[in-house]
Amino acid sequence: MPTRALKSAASGMYAQEINIQVISNNIANMNTTSFKKNRAEFKDLIYQEISANPQNTVIPGSVENSNTKIQVGSGVKPSSTQKVFVQGDLQQTGQQLDVGINGDGFFQVRKSDGTFSYTRDGSFKLSSEGSLVTSDGYVLEPGFTLHEDVRSISISRDGIITSTEVGGDSIELGTIELAKFVNPGGLQAIGDNLYNETESSGSPILGQAGQEGFGELNQGFLETSNVDIVEEMISMISAQRSYEINSKTVKTVEEMMSIANNLKR
Amino acid sequence: MIKGLYNASKSMNDKIHNIQIVANNLANLSTNGFKREIPFAEYMERAENEGVKQVTDFSEGEFLETDNPLDFAISGKAFFAVNTEQGIELTKNGQFAIDSEGYLITKDGNKVLGEKGNINLDESLLKSKGEITVTDDGQIKVGEFFIDYLRLVNVEQPEMLERSENQTFYYEEQDFNNADKSQFKIHQGFIEGSNTNPVLEMQAMIQLQKDYEASQKMITSLDAMLGQSKEIGKY
């Protein structure tokens, strides 16, 4: 009985289910600052050799010839999801602590346990100690501290932070360093717009903003999500249709089984 | 008449193999680098006459843009060569990554082969911090630093290739020729989608089902005729 066909179809339906889950997560994050869309990836399963002529083994005296064997695959399975690090649009917010990266770099932030994570979400706030922190309170690293007399700060395209004092003096406080990765697609997303380095992403390469490959900083701008709603809708349509056509396989095989059952009345 | 019964049942069995192949093609509609198998009588003929194990349709799938510098699609008749435990395997699926030692690997952790052997990107990256670029003819560079050429393999008779999981192909003889650089073009930041065509598969599925039904009808009528012949000579 063609149960292998049923299982292949079921694996195809399951794969499309995962695909829809990934797409729906993308759509849900349409308005998440600096969100990078995901893409589900699939791989085919093992191929088994079966005899193309099953009667050979039935007819007495016949010899099985290996050349008449064919390989039949056993379906598909979801293998991984891939982050797509295409630049999102930069949207003006007018907030002086909002920084958008135009390029490939990431901000390096230190979490409360002392480990580093990376983010492109530049909506920074001031902490009570006067350092720049993300919305979740993770500290920008290497950072700087502002004291009480600062009236405003400006961040240049190459990351140099200058503060203007109440008296009108300008003081250079430091520079924002960005991290970049050989294979950003290999970064592990841990939620809260944060990424962790992994073996496949490689170690972070630190450098000043504005250097080649790191990207420039734009003060008063935030990077929007790079989810393209039209593209997601199209992916959703094709995932739904793929799901449907796999269910048609189930139906066809089921009908064939019923035909076989009707051989004997 | 008994021979007729055999033929009809063989036909039913063939259809079952074919529906399994169609089911597998459809399940892999979204699998990058997947090559569909041809599920028809045409293929049964080839299998018996030329000793070919299966017929894979090596036509090109759609190219999808990903912008990932480690995604590659090949246009033309060539495969990426991958170093596995079983020897060299071939694939059209150019979704690569870099492992902790700096080797270019496939998503299954097997090393991708360059013309000088495994491709290591570690040291040079630390030196230059540049971008990884791969030209049309497979030249890998980090910044301005030349690493290696990707090893692209041409197979004279792709129908002799055996399929292995994860969109790879295997050939026992292992005597691969490097593809001529004019025969292919590598597109960085693209991947090749599955070449399964749902319309063709749907058509195949309908035809298979109808053929299956026809063979079943043949068996039932032969059965009825045999039943009739039994009646001859009875009063």
Across the interface, whether the CB atoms of A246 and B26 are under 8 A apart is answered yes
Across the interface, whether the CB atoms of B212 and A182 are under 8 A apart is answered no
pLDDT score, position B43: 55
Using the Cβ of A5 and the Cβ atoms of chain B, whether some distance falls under 8 Å is answered with yes
ipTM, two decimals:
0.74
Across the interface, whether the CB atoms of A43 and B31 are under 8 A apart is answered yes
pLDDT score, position B144: 77
Across the interface, whether the CB atoms of B24 and A53 are under 8 A apart is answered no
Instruction: Provide the 8-state DSSP code for A98.
Output: B
Across the interface, whether the CB atoms of B30 and A186 are under 8 A apart is answered no
Using the Cβ of A199 and the Cβ atoms of chain B, whether some distance falls under 8 Å is answered with yes
Average pLDDT, chain A: 85
Across the interface, whether the CB atoms of A76 and B30 are under 8 A apart is answered yes
Measure the CA–CA gap between A126 and B206, rounded to whole angstroms.
66
Start-end of H helices in B28-144: 41-49, 122-128
Across the interface, whether the CB atoms of B27 and A8 are under 8 A apart is answered yes
Q: Which residues 172-201 of chain B have a CB within 8 Å of chain A?
A: 198, 201
Show residues of chain B in contact with A84, CB under 8 Å: 66-68
Using the Cβ of B17 and the Cβ atoms of chain A, whether some distance falls under 8 Å is answered with yes
Per the listing, tokens 């009345």 go with A265
Q: Report the pLDDT averaged over residues A151-173.
A: 84
Lowest mean pLDDT among A142-146, B44-48, B128-132, B150-154: B44-48
| Statement: residue B171 has pLDDT above 60 | yes
Q: How confident is the model at residue B96 (pLDDT cuts 50, 70, 90)?
A: confident
Q: How confident is the model at residue B133 (pLDDT cuts 50, 70, 90)?
A: confident
Q: How confident is the model at residue A195 (pLDDT cuts 50, 70, 90)?
A: very high
CA separation, residue B21 to residues A43, B27, B112, B152 (Å): 16, 10, 29, 28
Q: Report the pLDDT averaged over residues B200-218.
A: 89
Using the Cβ of A195 and the Cβ atoms of chain B, whether some distance falls under 8 Å is answered with no
Across the interface, whether the CB atoms of A55 and B9 are under 8 A apart is answered yes
Across the interface, whether the CB atoms of B32 and A9 are under 8 A apart is answered no
Using the Cβ of B24 and the Cβ atoms of chain A, whether some distance falls under 8 Å is answered with yes
Residue of A nearest to B214 (CA): A259
Beta strands in A197-249 (DSSP E): 205-208, 216-219, 221-223
Using the Cβ of A239 and the Cβ atoms of chain B, whether some distance falls under 8 Å is answered with yes
- pTM of the prediction? 0.79
Indicate if the alpha-carbon torsion angle A265, B2, B6, B7 is positive or negative: negative
Q: What is the pLDDT of residues B211-223, one digit of tens each?
A: 899 999 999 999 8
A:B CB pairs within 8 Å: 203
CA separation, residue B29 to residues A240, A250, B173 (Å): 12, 15, 30
Across the interface, whether the CB atoms of A39 and B15 are under 8 A apart is answered no
Q: Across-strand partners of B97?
A: B105
3-state secondary structure of A230: helix
pLDDT score, position B127: 55
Q: What is the pLDDT of residues B53-76, one digit of tens each?
A: 457 888 888 898 877 888 899 988
Across the interface, whether the CB atoms of A82 and B95 are under 8 A apart is answered yes
Q: How confident is the model at residue A204 (pLDDT cuts 50, 70, 90)?
A: confident
Do you find a cis peptide bond into A142, omega within 30 degrees of 0?
yes
Question: How much of chain A is helix, strand and coil, in % rounded to 5?
Answer: 25, 35, 40
Q: Calculate how close chain B gets to A148, using CA atoms only, in Å.
A: 39
Measure the CA–CA gap between A185 and B68, rounded to whole angstroms.
7
Using the Cβ of B72 and the Cβ atoms of chain A, whether some distance falls under 8 Å is answered with no
Lowest mean pLDDT among A23-27, A114-118, B100-104: B100-104
| Statement: residue A10 has pLDDT above 60 | yes
Using the Cβ of A103 and the Cβ atoms of chain B, whether some distance falls under 8 Å is answered with no
Q: Is B144 exposed, middle or buried (0-12, 13-18, 19+ CB in 10 A)?
A: exposed
Using the Cβ of B165 and the Cβ atoms of chain A, whether some distance falls under 8 Å is answered with yes
Q: Are A245 and B198 in contact (CB under 8 A)?
A: yes
Q: Which residues 209-228 of chain A have a CB within 8 Å of chain B?
A: 212-213
Residue of B nearest to A187 (CA): B97
Q: Report the pLDDT averaged over residues A19-39.
A: 93
Q: Are B47 and A52 in contact (CB under 8 A)?
A: yes
Q: Report the pLDDT averaged over residues B19-39.
A: 88
CA separation, residue B218 to residues A2, B38, B212 (Å): 20, 26, 10
Across the interface, whether the CB atoms of B100 and A199 are under 8 A apart is answered yes
Measure the CA–CA gap between B73 and B62, rounded to whole angstroms.
10
Q: How confident is the model at residue A52 (pLDDT cuts 50, 70, 90)?
A: low
pLDDT score, position A3: 81
Using the Cβ of A208 and the Cβ atoms of chain B, whether some distance falls under 8 Å is answered with no
Q: Which residues 130-149 of chain B have a CB within 8 Å of chain A?
A: 130-132
pLDDT score, position B52: 45
Across the interface, whether the CB atoms of B107 and A52 are under 8 A apart is answered no
